[in-house]
C-alpha cells in the first residue's frame, strides 16, 4: 500500500504519550499515528448502505422489564414443548 505524506499539528502532551507508547510497544511513533488516522477515518466514514436493512414489527417503544421477561419465558416454554 502506498502512503501519502501530510503535516498535522498535535498537542505536545499527546506526542509525548505517543512517544512513550511507541517505545513500550516496540513500534514507530508514525505507526501509532497511522493507526489513529485510520480509526478517525473509519469513525467518520459515510457508508453506502444502512447498518440495519431490515425492520422489525413491534409497538414502537422500548418494552418494559416484565414484557421482556414474559416474552422470553414464552419462548422457553415453546422451545421446551417442541423438544420434549
Residue keyed to cell 447498518:
51
The answer to whether the Cα torsion of 72, 78, 83, 84 is positive or negative is positive
Q: Tens place of pLDDT for every residue, the chain, 84 residues? A: 799 999 999 999 999 999 999 999 999 999 999 999 999 999 998 888 777 767 777 778 888 999 999 999 999 999 888 766
Cα 26 from Cα 77, distance rounded (Å): 55
pTM of the model: 0.55
User: Is there a contact between 28 and 22 (Cβ–Cβ < 8 Å)?
Assistant: yes
Give the list of residues 6+ apart from residue 52 with CB closer than 8 angstroms, or none.
none
Amino acid at each position: 500500500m502506498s502512503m501519502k505524506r501530510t503535516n498535522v499539528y498535535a498537542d505536545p502532551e499527546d506526542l509525548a504519550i505517543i512517544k512513550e507508547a511507541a517505545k513500550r510497544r516496540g513500534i514507530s511513533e508514525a505507526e501509532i499515528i497511522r493507526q489513529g488516522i485510520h480509526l478517525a477515518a473509519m469513525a467518520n466514514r459515510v457508508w453506502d448502505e444502512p447498518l440495519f436493512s431490515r425492520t422489525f414489527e413491534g409497538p414502537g417503544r422500548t418494552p418494559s422489564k416484565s414484557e421482556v421477561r414474559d416474552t422470553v419465558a414464552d419462548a422457553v416454554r415453546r422451545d421446551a414443548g417442541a423438544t420434549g
